[in-house]
Amino acid sequence: METYSRTDSCGSQGRSKRPRSIETIVRPFKLNDMNYREIMHLMIEKFKEGLSAKTNPIASVKMFPTYVRSTPKGTEVGDFLALDLGGTNFRVLHIKLDGQDTKMESKIFLIPQKIMSGTGAELFDHIADCIYKFVKEQQLLTHYLPLGFTFSFPCRQEGLDRAILTTWTKGFKCEGVEGENIVELLHAAIKRKGQLNIKCVAVINDTVGALMSCAHSDRMCSVGIILGTGTNACYIERLENVDIWNEDKNEPKQVIINTEWGAFGDDGCLDKILTDYDRQVDKHSINPGKQRFEKTISGMYMGELVRLILEKLRRHKLIFNGVGSEELSTRGRFYTKYVSEIESDIDDSFKNTKQVFQDLNLTNFMVEDCRIAQYVCSTISTRAAYLSAAGTAALIHKMGRSEVTVAVDGSLYRFHPHFHDLMVEKIKALCPLTRFRLMLSHDGSGKGAAIVASCATQEGQNQNNNSALRAEVH
């Protein structure tokens, strides 16, 4: 077990007492190898429950078929729009595919808090306004462009262009959207806006986008994982294992499954590894009792876990000489980006950590407090990376492949200095016989949506051609 050590000139009593006190507070976050192996096997069982028609209605991990059946060949061609909604930022993209050559123009728009908690009409009207502004800037108002929509919230897919939102996550709570087809809501908003000749031909989530984007250049890619504001994963499953699949069983006999693994643990199966801090974060979240796995990992919650521990250390006078600040005592004020910044410090100058302390209006600190803060951040992020690895290992074992490329995207994975290495370390331990590669997905939510839209457009053209041929025959 990793332990905290002091290097200052305290007496022997101070050196022995404070480290033990700190260790006692952070120890619940330190799971052993057996814990992570149990979590991996438990997740595999939850995957199977979600795929079974008999147990799916009560399953916590829903395992939604995405209706995306095949991965790209790398020869896709076309001109597309893509939308990417998965957090507090919303992107509109113009993408040109020409085989392996991809050209993209994009713009980021913010989603105000009042819209995130307003009505569905307000949300989609805001999206339509953003599309209009972007299309006008790109001088595309006179063009018809197929649109791929990356909508990264739990959905029940009923077709490539039909997705029913099952529940909001990541701080969204717009009325009138849950239980509705988000493509219809988007089309209605586009119609209200006017002057837009756009049709959404495919809706996917960001995990599928990441998988498809990486699979465009690496044909071994069969898993997509997001580790950012929230977390989720998808993978390619054989149709014979998808009992809830009621569509054709033609080739390819596979479908990408959107696991919605953020809800793993909502049935209580993770309770024994959750800490009091996890329970406190859950209690004060917008969706208590939901997305329990996500709340142990993702960027929306990691900073708050660290803040709660630092506050407890402060109250016990184990950090900051017991003196805090209004910022440190404010829920949600310790941002997850601080965790990455603090862990990026590599020497005792602690430049990033001191800047974070200044941002939090913490002035009564010593170098030792920087070490303690870095240790707390490392403990929380390591658990998050290992839990992410346990989920990844569960998918690898579920597929039973000897070689797998895993597409990964999201701000947590992208910017944390050690997350990738920690995941690789734990996946190796849990999947010793599998060759695997974690591949950073570059703009999967945009490029991936365009690739799926290309496939949908091509499929539609093929169906029209076949219908025309049948009409000629008759």
Cα 439 to Cα 442: distance, rounded to the nearest angstrom: 9
Please say whether the beta carbons of 237 and 208 come within 8 A: no
Show which residues are catalytic.
170, 206
- Name the CA radius of gyration of the chain, rounded: 24
Residues 6+ apart with CB under 8 A from 191: none
The residue among 439, 158, 143, 178 whose CA lies nearest residue 287 is 178
Give the pLDDT score at 259.
97
CA distances from 60 to 47, 90, 264 (A): 9, 28, 6
Q: pLDDT 10s per residue in the chain (474 long)?
A: 445 544 343 333 333 345 689 999 999 999 999 999 999 999 999 999 999 999 999 999 999 999 998 888 888 887 899 999 978 888 999 998 888 888 899 999 999 999 999 999 999 999 999 999 999 999 988 888 899 999 988 888 899 999 999 999 888 999 999 999 999 999 999 999 998 989 999 999 889 999 999 998 899 999 999 999 899 999 999 999 999 999 988 888 999 999 999 999 999 999 999 999 999 999 999 889 999 999 999 999 999 999 999 999 999 999 999 999 999 999 999 999 999 999 999 999 999 999 999 999 999 999 999 999 999 999 999 999 999 999 999 999 999 999 999 999 999 999 999 999 999 999 999 999 999 999 999 878 888 998 898 877 776 555 544 444 344 444
pLDDT computed for residue 467 by the predictor: 43
What's the pLDDT at 87? 81
Phi-psi region of 321 (alpha: psi -120 to 50; beta: other; left: phi over 0): left
Domains identified in the chain and CATH numbers: 25-65+206-442 (3.40.367.20), 67-204 (3.30.420.40)
Between the alpha carbon of residue 32 and those of residues 38, 39, 140, 181, 431, the distances in Å are 10, 11, 55, 43, 16
φ, ψ of residue 204 to 5 degrees: the values are -135, 170
| Contact in structure between 394 and 428 (CB atoms under 8 Å) | no
What angle separates helix 33-51 from helix 419-430, to the nearest 10 degrees?
Answer: 80
DSSP for 66-104? Answer: -S------S--EEEEEEEEESSSEEEEEEEEEETTEEEE
pTM value is 0.85
Complete edge-to-edge strand list for the sheet that includes strand 101-110: 101-110, 89-98, 77-85, 145-151, 198-204
d(CA 257, CA 58): 18
- Rounded (5°) CA angle 245-249-250: 145
| pLDDT for res 98 | 85
C-alpha pair distances (Å), 371 with each of 60, 303, 306: 39, 17, 14
Q: Is 66 in contact with 239 (CB distance < 8 Å)?
A: no
CB 106 within 8 A of CB 94: yes
Round to whole Å and give the CA distance between 429 and 446: 33
Q: Is the dihedral of CA 445, 446, 452, 453 positive or negative?
A: positive
| pLDDT score for 69 | 87
How many beta carbons lie within 10 A of that of residue 144, not counting itself? 10
In angstroms, the CA 161 to CA 448 distance is 15
For the record, the structure tokens of 114 come out as 């009042």
Place of tokens 């507090």: 88
How far is C-alpha 250 from the geometric centre of its chain's CA atoms?
Answer: 31
Q: Where are the alpha helices (DSSP H) in 222-366?
A: 276-283, 292-295, 299-315, 336-343, 351-359
In contact, 206 and 276? CB cutoff 8 Å: no
Per-residue pLDDT at 444: 82
Q: Using N-to-C axis directions, what is the helix angle for 367-399 and 299-315, rounded to 10°?
A: 140
